[in-house]
Amino acid sequence: MNTSKYPLISDQISRPALEVVLTELEAVLARGTAGAICEFGCYIGTTSLFIRRLIGDQKEFHAYDSFEGLPAKDAHDQSAAGIDFRAGELAVSKKQFLEQFRKANLRSPITHKAWFDDLTAQDVPDKIAFAFLDGDFYGSILTSLRLVWPRLSDGGSIAVDDYRRETLPGVERAITDFMQGKAYRLRYAHNIAIITKA
């Protein structure tokens, strides 16, 4: 997908990182992978808009966010380089998020307003073809993986933002801890990790 035709409405993802996410999503769609598309941590909708443009109406699309900004860090997230990431930052309302779709003349996703820790298996589709996880912190990524991995279809994949980013060390730690003992493949580019079942 050529992303240059459309603006990035926030600085929360770079265009090269966005290309990694969308290229993987295109591959999942090309394989005819069964299941819905999920995004955990959507902020104002920068990536969400591109996901919708790419999938059109061919897949159910679920977006999850607290819409109350970042949660508190835990010990896994501590980094001298990441002092700017504080609880409550990056807060936008659900209304502001949905407004971006209206302005872009795109159908909004099925939008879930909740802290990830409050979500249960019933809040997530039975089958997931592709998930984009942008929870920034250890707990958020760990919880997202717990919700997504058991439902990931064969041929599906998970893209995780901020992998191996000095400012957000909890992301890589969460992946390492959760994936221990599981059969999987991981590759990354532009701080986006792509996880697939082995």
Q: Which fold has domain 3-197?
A: Rossmann fold (3.40.50)
Domain ranges in the chain? 3-197
Q: Mean pLDDT throughout 103-110?
A: 97
- Give per-residue burial for 151-168: e unless 16+ CB within 10 Å, then b: bbbebbbbbbbbbebeeb
Please tell me which residue, 194 or 89, carries the higher pLDDT value. Answer: 194
Lateral strand order in the sheet of 152-161: 110-113, 61-65, 36-40, 128-133, 152-161, 192-197, 184-189
The closest alpha carbon to 114, from 73, 143, 149, 146, belongs to 143
pLDDT tier, 10 (very low <50, low <70, confident <90, very high otherwise) = confident
Does the pLDDT value for residue 82 go beyond 80? no
Record the pTM.
Answer: 0.93
**Mean pLDDT estimate for the chain:** 93
Does the pLDDT value for residue 31 go beyond 70? yes
